[in-house]
Structure 1
Amino acid sequence: MKEELIIAGFGGQGVLSTGKILAYSGVMQDYEVSWLPSYGPEMRGGTANVTVIISDKPISSPTLQTFDTAIILNQQSMDKFESQVKPGGVLIYDTNGITRHPQRKDIKIYVIDATEEAAKRGNSRIFNTLILGGYLKVRPIVTLENVYKGLKKSLPERAWKSLPMNEEAIRIGMDIIKEIQ
Structure 2
Amino acid sequence: MIRTIRISGFGGQGVMLTGQLLAHAANEQGLYSLWVPTYGPETRGGTANCSITISDKPIYSPVFQKSDDLLIFNEPSLAKFGEKIKSGGNIFYNSSLIKKKVNHDDRNVYPVPMSELAQSLDKPQVANMVMLGAYLNKVGIFKEEVIIESLKYFLGPKKANMLEINQKAIAIGFESVN
TM-score by length of 2: 0.95
Q: Distance in 2 between matches of 1:137 and 1:48?
A: 24
The answer on whether the counterparts of 2:155 and 2:162 sit within 8 Å (CA) in structure 1 is: no
Question: Gaps (5+ residues) in structure 1?
Answer: none
Query: Letter of the aligned partner of 1:27 in structure 2?
Result: N
Name the SS of the counterpart of 1:102 in structure 2: coil
Aligned-pair CA distance for 1:102: 1.9
Deviations 1:115-140 (A, max 9, x none): 01111221112111111100000111
Deviations 1:1-36 (A, max 9, x none): 221000011001000000011111011101100000
The reply to whether residue 170 of structure 1 matches residue 153 of structure 2 is: no
Q: Distance in 1 between matches of 2:101 and 2:3?
A: 24
The reply to whether residue 21 of structure 1 matches residue 21 of structure 2 is: yes
The reply to whether residue 149 of structure 1 matches residue 149 of structure 2 is: yes
Query: Letter of the aligned partner of 2:56 in structure 1?
Result: D
Aligned-pair CA distance for 1:80: 1.3
Match of 1:44 in 2: 44
Identity %: 37
Match of 2:5 in 1: 5
The answer on whether the counterparts of 1:118 and 1:126 sit within 8 Å (CA) in structure 2 is: yes
Aligned-pair CA distance for 1:103: 2.8
Match of 2:160 in 1: 160
Pick which of 74-83 and 4-13 moved more: 74-83
Q: Distance in 2 between matches of 1:20 and 1:52?
A: 8
CA-atom RMSD, angstroms? Answer: 1.2
The answer on whether the counterparts of 1:94 and 1:115 sit within 8 Å (CA) in structure 2 is: yes
Q: Distance in 2 between matches of 1:168 and 1:124?
A: 13
Name the SS of the counterpart of 2:43 in structure 1: coil
1:98-113 maps to which residues of 2 (within 5 A)?
Answer: 98-113=98-113
Relative contact order: is structure 1 or structure 2 higher (C-alpha 8 Å, sep ≥ 6)? 1
Question: Gaps (5+ residues) in structure 2?
Answer: none
Name the SS of the counterpart of 1:175 in structure 2: helix
Pick which of 116-125 and 14-23 moved more: 116-125
Match of 1:78 in 2: 78
Match of 1:140 in 2: 140
The answer on whether the counterparts of 1:113 and 1:177 sit within 8 Å (CA) in structure 2 is: no
